[in-house]
Amino acid sequence: MTATEELGLYLDVPMDVDVELDRRVLTVRQILALDVGAVIRMNRSAGENLDFRVGGALLGFGEIVANEASTGIRLTDFLENE
């Protein structure tokens, strides 16, 4: 039996997918000082991979891709099973 067959009834269950650049903690003062056009410095550099999470669990990494109609993520790596 394949993995897809084993999952059977679960295949159509919706799951939250998150693409995350980075996380940062700001004080209330810093948040209140934000204005349109403000830049929040992050630890990752431009061009670094984004985190790809499903149900909150980190599954892999990707990069931003864009065309005329939309923006998305191209998956570049998956984490190995432990």
Give pLDDT, residue 29: 96
3-state secondary structure string across the chain = CCHHHHHHHHCCCCCCEEEECCCCCCCHHHHHCCCCCCCCCCCCCCCCCEEEEECCEEEEEEEEEECCCCEEEEEEEECCCC
Task: Give domain status of residue 2, yes or no.
Answer: no
pLDDT in tens, the chain (82 residues): 887 888 888 888 999 999 988 888 999 999 999 999 999 888 888 778 899 999 889 999 999 888 888 888 899 999 987 5
pTM to 2 decimal places: 0.69
Q: Which domain holds residue 46?
A: 15-78
Task: Give domain status of residue 6, yes or no.
Answer: no
Give pLDDT, residue 37: 95
Give pLDDT, residue 82: 58
Task: Give domain status of residue 8, yes or no.
Answer: no
Task: Give domain status of residue 9, yes or no.
Answer: no
